Chain A
């Protein structure tokens, strides 16, 4: 297998143990995300979408199976090495609480560079903010930004290190449809313009339709894959899957 996949999951299993309970969040998931692709992950609540993203981003360990990101096998890495990989090769955006309240939009954006002890170049930060349409809000604090704007700052920040892959967990979950559209458009532009690899979890068929491909999870398994569909068809397929399951 010599594919150009940026992220590859092979037979990934993940269980949570809380007391006597064990919950199988991922039950043998295999998937590939090729460079420059935009993938949406959908599925019912509790189907394991967030777990999938967290495992693929090296935020959590898996029970069995293999995950490679940008050619690096996550299994053999220490916590420290995983942190460095995350810092340099992976971007992450989630539903809310994405920004450090004490820092301005520009400072938040530059944060990964600072953490990596790389000199944050003002131009790069300005460009990243411009890409998400926030060039003139650079000096604002998160509390002075709308939810959509905060989310776009988070995307700018996730991109500042030019990561191999950007994971987004319900980035539009807390936004109205207008703000959602702006955020999604920003993501789409990144894929088309810069060949950015994006994996995005969403409950919204309209959001999923912006992606090239939709993966559907149910009870920790991949149950469907939809490509090039519009929101209505995606919604229909999801509904059908839910009935079938």
Chain B
């Protein structure tokens, strides 16, 4: 009853907390729904295949590289054995290669690969018109392109634009060529799809116990048999697990989406705990007399604690009741926005799992409880004599526990900062964010210690004046250190996060720009335009320096590599060895000699020979000369002259021979090899960018899916898809943290002034004019905002320094720390305006409303 009655009485001052909790629950509901919805979806093109078999993926899913494919011969052998499984009508190896339809010389978005015509059946595609492709220049297209049978169509492949004739169309989207053509053009086999026949149902039903023997039971049986055949050479996917066969790009997009949603949830949780904590710390301080009265009347401390906690549970439930519907309504539009922005693949839809709102509600209550925990403990310690004292003096010094907690938070911040200097990519930002969270916590815990001296310092120049304002401000902030700290905390949070996040983007953008500029002293740069990369024809037309990226495999783990020509040697500095051997004539592969592949390809089902360590290097497959970067050489333990058995991008074993170690500078990959060798092993490899010494005319690149940029434009561009995503992500985080922070600023200031009504009355009675009272409030607020902002800036700068250092270590050149002064000024300005308004408005209102009767509340 007391909790309820007190809520009713103080609802105005708790409105901010309620709003915070509601927003937090809404954010959690949306993020939770989207997180559980963000599941890999089996691609359309395999919709009709209930059982998919793919090669063993790398251990780290965040590598976002295709698993090492099977060599064609091994895949064919596997397929033959799989086709013999009862219930399997066909086992189709997929041969896929880069081929993007050009319409009027412009690449068409969507499907970017062509496959063997047999694989069309895996997607359930049947001819709508025409006939299957047979010859080398024939293609079947999805009807959605609107190309009729007999039409000529240009396909952009890794080599360049090629002419094809449409022999048939199917419903939906896709590009298919004759099996022989696809087999010749594709590298390794990334997938084998099984088709099951209807008559297999009979067998499966016989095996099944009850009447539920349907397709699922049959598929499970087929999957079990397939697993026995494939053994350690692959992974059998059935049912929802087939989602693992989604395109790597989709997996990456989904992963980025997960990062965004998790960061938003974490930030939302942290900020709401923070706001609830500061609101309740404040409220408890203001209610000391009332709590003392209750203690005086015989309430035991446990009861007091329970009231405070009961109150926040009610608030949490109320917040949930408001937040959940909002979250449920918002999930759909947010999901569509995520797809549009590129944080989720197009296949993404929201699954409305009832457990999510329930969990969000529970989280909201938990957040409220955690936030109010310290305040509840403090409230329970209020003695009965507090009711008799008129004390406004914060006589309790900062407790040891608080100091210790502040110290721990500071240590955590340093640890996260150190981790940030070691981390890479998206983790770097995450660690910087953690560091800031810990620093914000430390800052607000230690603020009561830091604040009074800081305020004295800040107001020192005015101390000599005769006015009462400075005296009052100084005295108030100094004697009520904790209270002022509670008011300054949200400003600290607001400034720290916006400056940190803004600075993070600008620092990383500076880093990427630096990365690009240092890559080559180029006047012009040619980049893909509507394509995933540049074809060889585009590279030739651009006429500059470039690298052809590919992936080698150490066992199943990817090793990023790139192919270069002798022309690119100008970009390389040799530390050890020599580059002359790098371009030995391309190796003759055993399979190219059309002979049986036994010597290179391990027999199906037998354990694969383990890649030998550097010490006992065994020559397996052809020897390929490579140059490695110093960084890679150091981490992998490779030295000049050593040989290393690995697998090529087509899944065949090769042996790398280190002929040179390269020093310094950013390089496209850790391992460099001859460009022709890459092309031989990876027919679909595409060039990322070409650096040219002279300007490249746009006309030279017509119909090649490429466009030229000046070097300066390129360095400054955020055209990069990743950059754009990072930018949007950042804006989101800033919006959420700033939104929460400003809410908290307004909330605390409103509470603060309401709580000081008595003080202000006394001031007025002792002769202060209304203007003086308002001026005093404004000055006090400004001091608190300024101190909070200064502490917040210190926090942000510390975290940014850690980030810049991390990037410097990664790049090997100093990365300047960028402090977003504009963002800082804007944030502080908005904080100041809102805080002063929130602090003075209630005073104005109470002036207008006249005097109310004082009571214990």
Q: Is the CB of B295 within 8 A of A100?
A: no
Please judge, given known A-B contacts A59-B385, A60-B385, A115-B303, whether A101 and B296 are in contact too, CB under 8 Å. Answer: no
Task: Pick out which of these stretches binds chain B: A34-42, A82-90, A187-195.
Answer: A82-90
Q: Is the CB of B298 within 8 A of A87?
A: yes
Chain B 821-857: CB-based contact to A (< 8 A → 1; otherwise 0): 0000000000000000000000000000000110111
**Residues in chain A near residue B853, CB distance under 8 A:** 143-144
What is the distance, in angstroms, from A176's C-beta to the closest C-beta of chain B? Answer: 15
Q: Is the CB of A103 within 8 A of B5?
A: yes
> Which of A79, A92, A102, A107 contacts B296, CB < 8 Å?
A92
What is the distance, in angstroms, from B347's C-beta to the closest C-beta of chain A? Answer: 54
Q: Is the CB of A54 within 8 A of B300?
A: no
- B contact residues, total (Cβ < 8 Å): 29
Q: Is the CB of A115 within 8 A of B296?
A: no
Q: Is the CB of A143 within 8 A of B300?
A: no
Q: Is A43 an interface residue (CB 8 A)?
A: no
**Residues in chain B near residue A144, CB distance under 8 A:** 853
Q: Is the CB of B388 within 8 A of A83?
A: no
Q: Is the CB of A143 within 8 A of B293?
A: no
Q: Is the CB of B298 within 8 A of A99?
A: no
Please judge, given known A-B contacts A97-B856, A142-B855, A157-B297, whether A102 and B387 are in contact too, CB under 8 Å. Answer: no
- Nearest CB to that of B384 among chain A residues? A59
Task: Pick out which of these stretches binds chain A: B6-14, B145-153, B175-183, B216-224.
Answer: B6-14
What is the distance, in angstroms, from A72's C-beta to the closest C-beta of chain B? Answer: 15
Q: Is the CB of A107 within 8 A of B5?
A: yes
What is the distance, in angstroms, from B299's C-beta to the closest C-beta of chain A? Answer: 5
Q: Is the CB of B300 within 8 A of A88?
A: no
Q: Is the CB of A101 within 8 A of B855?
A: yes
Q: Is A80 an interface residue (CB 8 A)?
A: yes
**Residues in chain A near residue B387, CB distance under 8 A:** 94, 97
Q: Is the CB of A102 within 8 A of B857?
A: yes
Q: Give the most central of B2, B294, B301, B852: most A CB within 10 Å.
A: B2
In Å, the complex CA distance between A141 and B856 comes to: 11
Q: Is the CB of A84 within 8 A of B855?
A: no
Please judge, given known A-B contacts A97-B856, A98-B293, A103-B5, whether A115 and B299 are in contact too, CB under 8 Å. Answer: yes
Q: Is B570 an interface residue (CB 8 A)?
A: no
Q: Is the CB of B298 within 8 A of A88?
A: yes
Please judge, given known A-B contacts A60-B385, A100-B293, whether A80 and B855 are in contact too, CB under 8 Å. Answer: no
- Nearest CB to that of A110 among chain B residues? B1
Q: Give the most central of A84, A100, A169: most B CB within 10 Å.
A: A100
Q: Is B675 an interface residue (CB 8 A)?
A: no
What is the distance, in angstroms, from B315's C-beta to the closest C-beta of chain A? Answer: 15
- Nearest CB to that of B4 among chain A residues? A102
**Residues in chain A near residue B857, CB distance under 8 A:** 100-102, 142-143
What is the distance, in angstroms, from A150's C-beta to the closest C-beta of chain B? Answer: 8
In Å, the complex CA distance between A49 and B9 comes to: 34
Q: Is the CB of A102 within 8 A of B10?
A: yes
- Nearest CB to that of A99 among chain B residues? B856
Where chain B touches its partner, the secondary structure class is helix
> Which of A54, A102, A103, A142 contacts B388, CB < 8 Å?
A54
Q: Is the CB of A143 within 8 A of B298?
A: no
- Nearest CB to that of A120 among chain B residues? B1
Q: Is the CB of B293 within 8 A of A102?
A: no
In Å, the complex CA distance between A144 and B857 comes to: 13
In Å, the complex CA distance between A144 and B853 comes to: 8
Q: Is the CB of A84 within 8 A of B298?
A: yes
Please judge, given known A-B contacts A99-B856, A101-B857, A143-B855, whether A111 and B297 are in contact too, CB under 8 Å. Answer: yes
Please judge, given known A-B contacts A59-B384, A101-B855, whether A115 and B298 are in contact too, CB under 8 Å. Answer: yes
Q: Is the CB of B298 within 8 A of A83?
A: yes
Please judge, given known A-B contacts A100-B294, A102-B9, A115-B294, whether A84 and B856 are in contact too, CB under 8 Å. Answer: no
Q: Is A116 an interface residue (CB 8 A)?
A: yes
- Nearest CB to that of A116 among chain B residues? B298
In Å, the complex CA distance between A157 and B298 comes to: 12
Chain B 669-696: CB-based contact to A (< 8 A → 1; otherwise 0): 0000000000000000000000000000
In Å, the complex CA distance between A150 and B385 comes to: 20
Q: Give the most central of A83, A99, A114: most B CB within 10 Å.
A: A83
Q: Is A48 an interface residue (CB 8 A)?
A: no
**Residues in chain B near residue A112, CB distance under 8 A:** 297-298
Q: Is the CB of A115 within 8 A of B297?
A: yes
In Å, the complex CA distance between A108 and B370 comes to: 30
**Residues in chain B near residue A98, CB distance under 8 A:** 293, 856
In Å, the complex CA distance between A9 and B298 comes to: 22
Q: Is B289 an interface residue (CB 8 A)?
A: yes
**Residues in chain A near residue B294, CB distance under 8 A:** 100, 111, 115
In Å, the complex CA distance between A150 and B300 comes to: 24
Q: Is the CB of B300 within 8 A of A84?
A: yes
> Which of A60, A142, A169 contacts B856, CB < 8 Å?
A142
Please judge, given known A-B contacts A60-B385, A94-B388, whether A100 and B856 are in contact too, CB under 8 Å. Answer: yes
Q: Is the CB of B298 within 8 A of A102?
A: no
Q: Is the CB of A101 within 8 A of B300?
A: no
**Residues in chain B near residue A99, CB distance under 8 A:** 293, 855-856
- Give B259-309 interface residues, CB cut-off 8 Å to A: 289-290, 293-301, 303
In Å, the complex CA distance between A236 and B2 comes to: 48
In Å, the complex CA distance between A92 and B298 comes to: 10
**Residues in chain A near residue B384, CB distance under 8 A:** 59, 83, 86
Q: Is the CB of B298 within 8 A of A97?
A: no
**Residues in chain B near residue A50, CB distance under 8 A:** 388
**Residues in chain A near residue B856, CB distance under 8 A:** 97-101, 142
What is the distance, in angstroms, from B218's C-beta to the closest C-beta of chain A? Answer: 65
What is the distance, in angstroms, from A73's C-beta to the closest C-beta of chain B? Answer: 19
What is the distance, in angstroms, from A102's C-beta to the closest C-beta of chain B? Answer: 3
Q: Is the CB of B303 within 8 A of A86?
A: no
What is the distance, in angstroms, from B303's C-beta to the closest C-beta of chain A? Answer: 7
Q: Is the CB of B300 within 8 A of A80?
A: yes
Q: Is the CB of B388 within 8 A of A114?
A: no
**Residues in chain B near residue A94, CB distance under 8 A:** 387-388
Q: Give the most central of B299, B388, B852: most A CB within 10 Å.
A: B388
**Residues in chain B near residue A87, CB distance under 8 A:** 297-299
- Nearest CB to that of B296 among chain A residues? A92
In Å, the complex CA distance between A115 and B298 comes to: 7
In Å, the complex CA distance between A94 and B387 comes to: 10
In Å, the complex CA distance between A144 and B289 comes to: 20
Q: Give the most central of A99, A101, A114, A157: most B CB within 10 Å.
A: A101
Q: Is the CB of A102 within 8 A of B299?
A: no
Chain A 128-151: CB-based contact to B (< 8 A → 1; otherwise 0): 000000000000011110000010
**Residues in chain A near residue B852, CB distance under 8 A:** 143
What is the distance, in angstroms, from A204's C-beta to the closest C-beta of chain B? Answer: 19
In Å, the complex CA distance between A112 and B8 comes to: 21
- Give B675-723 interface residues, CB cut-off 8 Å to A: none
In Å, the complex CA distance between A158 and B303 comes to: 19
- Nearest CB to that of B3 among chain A residues? A102
What is the distance, in angstroms, from B852's C-beta to the closest C-beta of chain A? Answer: 7
Q: Is the CB of A114 within 8 A of B1?
A: yes
What is the distance, in angstroms, from B373's C-beta to the closest C-beta of chain A? Answer: 21
In Å, the complex CA distance between A220 and B507 comes to: 70
Q: Is the CB of A83 within 8 A of B300?
A: yes
- Nearest CB to that of A83 among chain B residues? B300
> Which of A54, A103, A141 contacts B385, CB < 8 Å?
A54
Chain A 169-185: CB-based contact to B (< 8 A → 1; otherwise 0): 10000000000000000
Interface residues, chain A, with chain B CB atoms under 8 Å away: 50, 54, 59-60, 79-80, 83-84, 86-88, 92, 94, 97-103, 107, 111-112, 114-116, 141-144, 150, 157, 161, 169
- The contact sample of 30 A-B pairs, CB cut-off 8 A, is A59-B388, A80-B301, A83-B295, A83-B298, A83-B299, A83-B301, A84-B300, A86-B297, A86-B298, A87-B298, A92-B297, A97-B855, A99-B293, A99-B855, A100-B2, A100-B5, A100-B6, A100-B290, A100-B293, A100-B857, A101-B857, A102-B8, A102-B9, A103-B5, A114-B1, A142-B855, A143-B852, A150-B855, A161-B298, A169-B388
Q: A60-B385, A84-B300 are in contact. List 4 more A-B contacts (CB 8 A).
A: A54-B388, A87-B299, A100-B293, A102-B5
The 5 A-B residue pairs with the shortest CB-CB distance in the complex, in nearest-first order: A87-B298, A101-B857, A102-B9, A101-B855, A142-B855
